[in-house]
Chains A and B, each alone.
Chain A
Amino acid sequence: DAKTTQPPSMDCAEGRAANLPCNHSTISGNEYVYWYRQIHSQGPQYIIHGLKNNETNEMASLIITEDRKSSTLILPHATLRDTAVYYCIVRVALYDSNYQLIWGAGTKLIIKP
Chain B
Amino acid sequence: EAGVAQSPRYKIIEKRQSVAFWCNPISGHATLYWYQQILGQGPKLLIQFQNNGVVDDSQLPKDRFSAERLKGVDSTLKIQPAKLEDSAVYLCASSTQNTIYFGEGSWLTVV
Contacts and interface: CB of A to CB of B under 8 A. Distances in A.
Given A43-B102, A43-B105, A97 B97 contact: yes
Interface in A28-79: 42-46, 49
Contacts of A106: 42
Nearest to A49: B98
Contacts of A2: 42
B91 to A, nearest CB: 6
A98 B102 contact: no
Contacts of A96: 50, 55
Contacts of A105: 40-42
Interface string B42-79: 11110010100001100000000000000000000000
B: contact size bracket: 20 to 34
A104 interface: yes
B100 interface: yes
A103 B97 contact: no
Nearest to B31: A98
B104 A101 contact: no
Contacts of A94: 55-56
Contacts of B4: 43
Contacts of A104: 42
Most-contacted residue by chain B among A2, A94, A96, A101 (CB, 10 A): A101
| Shortest beta-carbon contacts, A-B, top 8 | A103-B42, A43-B102, A44-B102, A43-B104, A98-B55, A43-B105, A46-B99, A103-B43
16 contacts: A2-B42, A43-B4, A43-B103, A44-B43, A45-B102, A46-B101, A96-B50, A98-B48, A98-B50, A100-B48, A100-B56, A103-B42, A103-B43, A103-B44, A105-B40, A105-B42
